[in-house]
Amino acid sequence: MHICVSSFFLQISNQHNAGARGWQRAVCKMAELDANLDHIIPSSVLPPFWAKLVVGFVSLVCFARSYDGDFVFDDSEAIINNKDLRAETPLGDLWHHDFWGSRLSSNTSHKSYRPLTILTFRINYYLCGGFHPVSFHVINILLHGGISVLMVDVFSVLFGGLQYTRKGRRLNLAPRSSLLAALLFATHPVHTECVAGVVGRADLLGALFFLLSFLGYCKAFREIQQSRAADTKGHSAGNKEGTHSTFWVLLSILLGAVAMLCKEQGITVLGLNAVFDILVIGKLNVLEMVQKALHKDKSFENIAVLRNGGFLFRMALLASGGAGVLYVRWKIMGTGPPAFTEVDNPASFADSVLVRAINYNYYYALNAWLLLCPWWLCFDWSMGCIPLIKSAGDWRVTAPAALWLCLIGLICQALCSEDSHRRRILTLGLGFLIIPFLPASNLFFRVGFVVAERVLYLPSAGYCMLLTFGFGALSKHTKKKKLIAAVVLGILFINMLRCMIRSGEWRNEEQLFRSALSVCPLNAKVHYNVGKNLADKGNQTAAIRYYREAVRLNPKYVHAMNNLGNILKERNELQEAEELLSLAVQIQPDFAAAWMNLGIVQNSLKRFEAAERSYRTAIKHRRKYPDCYYNLGRLYADLNRHVDALNAWRNATVLKPEHSLAWNNMIILLDNTGNLAQAEAVGREALELIPNDHSLMFSLANVLGKSQKYKESEALFLKAIKAHPNAASYHGNLAVLYHRWGHLDLAKKHYEISLQLDPTASGTKENYGLLRRKLEQMQKKDV
């Protein structure tokens, strides 16, 4: 037989009041639930230090494999291409930009406002001296470890309630339950996206401050619980039921706001705090209150929590704080909610309210399944991965029915159970499961995804809590305790193994994208990303196959059309490239990149007027488009419109000062048209901006050689050759310089090196022949 409380609370006097006896019964229930898990969790790891050490170690082992991974998927846009990480961007800009570095006031902004997360990326970048992914990954792994350790304290409050000694030390009345739930959380494979993907740091930081806000709110009631502890010991503490620390309540609201500045769903902690206050501090029986309200029972007005000034004050603080934070967040967004496309969230664009409702509920069921069985994981669930349910005859409608059957059962138990401890745990578990998920539910606004594993990071804590409670209840009603222990340990082991496997898949894009092919074969974006990865590696034939499949699965996938058109252009399959790119801009008229690529194809087809129109349209839709100005300049150069060409390239360098190709073309055009002084000035200007660009050194060296500035020209040629020693043209042109300068032996040496690197260079062969004849004539004269 298990003793229901520790010796700290033994020998309760018979003179205690009814509240103390109720509290004592609650403690017995907590101890009974925890005792049911004694065959699963050994007593040796129950001390807080060892429990947290075990959880922290296990969490690090699960995801350690991702520490040396690359930047993958969204990391490129959020980190590598995000100017907000670089020192030249003022820190103040972080507060006006979205997660991807775009201005929030822009109509194309994603509106994901996470400045504190971007600030941590910037610190990473600064401390490591650049984009070294190891440091970014290590921080993510350590954050997950810290959150998992913090979960031990959170679960101890959720399972065991708030109980303090007279000295103010919080008691953990459910050490086994809190440890098991924390282990289940630490090892859940659905967390891999947040931990192994660097952009998942937003969810990790949001979760960290979410939990700190919750624990801070709990500290507000230390005086109340100390008074109850004193009361159970027989000491008079007076009536302190309404007392609380306003400082901790305000700090909790502030931490909730900080959580929201890391990830939007962080603000939901204020809702969880309110639920905790009502159920744990106020001990409100929701079912009893509803029954009294329906029957117009006069005692309804006398419910203690509703007449408690401290409780009402706290609720007012939480409501006003949350409303204020949300209002400021809305004002910062500037132009209202973001505009998503149908491929991002097809159910939200369905005409029928019924179709939308059924599909939303099906998405909830899929999220629940990912928590229950996290084996089929995918980096992206959009683009046809989950076809719409359009009729009641679709067998998938059974999934939301099963989900709601389970939820209704849990809600009934949470409301109707005679066991107050069970009611409290189930309600808090459901609260932790549902409340953080609400921003992703499509109930309040349209979201830009169908299913996203990252948004389950916090809700999974509620799932782990319910699962732990279920194991405890099952242990109580069965004699096969060793079997249950084996099942629990098996789940933990399988989850750890799955975390390790999935972390390996997130190490590089090739593994990540290919892992999704078996999970979401109908997802056009998966095929697109596999194709893009192959194209980046130079395997164009295989890339074409995947791009074509992406377009087949989604005939309006303009990005796949654009990339496929680019490859076909490079393979000189210009007619099909033009057809694809024309279709892309017809589907999305403001697709600037497709307009530019269409212009390049039309230029190659000698359709110059059409090409110029395409370039101009691209610039119309994206005014700051240096690459398009560069290509427009090439078109004008082909048409011998030299002034227009120079102006276009100058625009490209103004928008992008490090645009080496534009600088080079300006130097070469000025050189070819005999404007050597102007070419020299442009070359020197370019090298000041890009001092280590060997192609610019080469072009300027050619100009200086023609201007008979041989010494300076030689120095630039040698510097370019040092940077790129295998460039045949560099050696060939240096040989020409020496030839003109009269250093014939050096000219002969570099002609020979150039011909070794490129034996087919006709100009170099001709110049080398001239040099040899000259040397032979000189030898004859000497003889």
- Condensed to tens digits (0 to 9), the pLDDT of residues 610-648 reads 999 999 999 999 999 999 999 999 999 999 999 999 999
Domain boundary among 577, 610, 643: 610
* Residue at token pair 């403001």: 590
Q: How many domains does the chain have?
A: 5
Sorted by sequence, the CB contacts under 8 Å of residue 595 that are 6+ apart come out as 585, 614, 615, 617, 618, 621, 628
- Residue 719 sits in the same domain as residue 687: yes
| Residue 647, amino acid | N
Q: Which of 8-12, 274-278, 477-481, 680-684 has the highest mean pLDDT?
A: 680-684
Mean pLDDT check: name the lowest of 117-126, 436-445, 563-572, 769-778: 769-778
- Residue 254 sits in the same domain as residue 191: yes
Predicted local confidence at residue 173, as pLDDT: 77
Predicted local confidence at residue 31, as pLDDT: 57
User: pLDDT for 10-46, tens place per residue?
Assistant: 233 333 444 445 545 555 555 566 666 766 777 666 7
Mean pLDDT check: name the lowest of 6-10, 194-198, 571-575, 577-581: 6-10
**Is residue 745 situated within a structural domain?**
yes
**Is residue 517 situated within a structural domain?**
no
Q: Which of 102-106, 326-330, 468-472, 540-544 has the highest mean pLDDT?
A: 540-544
Q: Which of 163-177, 477-491, 604-618 has the highest mean pLDDT?
A: 604-618
- Residue 258 sits in the same domain as residue 125: yes
Written as one string, the DSSP assignment of 480-499 is -HHHHHHHHHHHHHHHHHHH
Query: Which comes out higher in pLDDT, residue 105 or 379?
Result: 379
- Residue 135 sits in the same domain as residue 201: yes
Domain with residue 531: its CATH number is 1.25.40.10
- Residue 553 sits in the same domain as residue 574: yes
Predicted local confidence at residue 783, as pLDDT: 59
CB 654 within 8 A of CB 638: no
Instruction: Quickly state the pLDDT bin for 187 (edges 50, 70, 90).
Output: very high
**Is residue 583 situated within a structural domain?**
yes
Q: Name the token pair of 412.
A: 């009934």
Domain boundary among 449, 475, 505: 505
Mean pLDDT of 753-767: 91
Q: Coil, strand or helix: which one is 97? A: strand
Q: Coil, strand or helix: which one is 122? A: helix
Predicted local confidence at residue 625, as pLDDT: 94
- Residue 657 sits in the same domain as residue 552: no
**Is residue 764 situated within a structural domain?**
yes
Predicted local confidence at residue 35, as pLDDT: 62
User: pLDDT for 596-605, tens place per residue?
Assistant: 999 999 999 9
User: pLDDT for 705-726, tens place per residue?
Assistant: 999 999 999 999 999 999 999 9
Half-sphere exposure for 29 (CA within 13 Å, toward CB)? 18
Q: Name the token pair of 320.
A: 């006003």
Predicted local confidence at residue 5, as pLDDT: 38
**Is residue 39 situated within a structural domain?**
no
- Residue 352 sits in the same domain as residue 482: yes
- Residue 182 sits in the same domain as residue 273: yes
Strand partners, 97: 103
CA 537/CA 510 separation, integer angstroms? 10
User: Of all residues in the chain, what percent carry a pLDDT higher than 70?
Assistant: 88
- Residue 220 sits in the same domain as residue 146: yes
CB 317 within 8 A of CB 253: yes
CB 648 within 8 A of CB 632: yes
* Residue at token pair 């009041």: 17
- Residue 304 sits in the same domain as residue 448: no
Residue 388 clears pLDDT 70, i.e. is over it: yes
| Residue 12, amino acid | I
Residue 363 clears pLDDT 50, i.e. is over it: yes
Predicted local confidence at residue 225, as pLDDT: 55
Instruction: Tell me phi and psi for residue 170, to 5 degrees.
Output: -75, 135
User: pLDDT for 230-287, tens place per residue?
Assistant: 554 444 444 444 456 788 999 999 999 999 999 999 999 999 999 998 888 877 777 7
**Is residue 280 situated within a structural domain?**
yes
**Is residue 126 situated within a structural domain?**
yes
Predicted local confidence at residue 13, as pLDDT: 36
Predicted local confidence at residue 156, as pLDDT: 92
CB atoms within 10 A of CB 147: 27
- Residue 118 sits in the same domain as residue 187: yes
Q: Which of 132-146, 371-385, 432-446 has the highest mean pLDDT?
A: 132-146
Strand partners, 170: 164
User: pLDDT for 662-677, tens place per residue?
Assistant: 999 999 999 999 999 9
Mean pLDDT of 338-359: 85
Predicted local confidence at residue 4, as pLDDT: 45
Burial class (CB in 10 A: 0-12, 13-18, 19+), 398: exposed
CB 62 within 8 A of CB 500: yes
Query: Which comes out higher in pLDDT, residue 317 or 222?
Result: 317
Q: What is the mean pLDDT of the chain?
A: 87
User: pLDDT for 293-316, tens place per residue?
Assistant: 666 655 555 555 556 667 788 889
Nearest Cα to 9, choosing from 158, 165, 162? 165
Mean pLDDT of 464-475: 91
CA 61 to chain centre: 22
**Is residue 20 situated within a structural domain?**
no
Sorted by sequence, the CB contacts under 8 Å of residue 78 that are 6+ apart come out as 99, 100, 101, 121, 198, 199
Query: Which comes out higher in pLDDT, residue 332 or 39?
Result: 332
CA 615/CA 636 separation, integer angstroms? 11
Residue range(s) defining the domain that contains residue 680 = 623-724
CB 273 within 8 A of CB 217: yes
Domain boundary among 586, 610, 634: 610
User: pLDDT for 398-421, tens place per residue?
Assistant: 999 999 999 999 998 888 877 778
Q: Coil, strand or helix: which one is 103? A: strand
Torsion angle, CA of 267/269/273/274, rounded to 10 degrees? 50
CA 77/CA 636 separation, integer angstroms? 33
Query: Which comes out higher in pLDDT, residue 468 or 24?
Result: 468
- Residue 641 sits in the same domain as residue 684: yes
Mean pLDDT of 544-552: 95
Q: Coil, strand or helix: which one is 170? A: strand
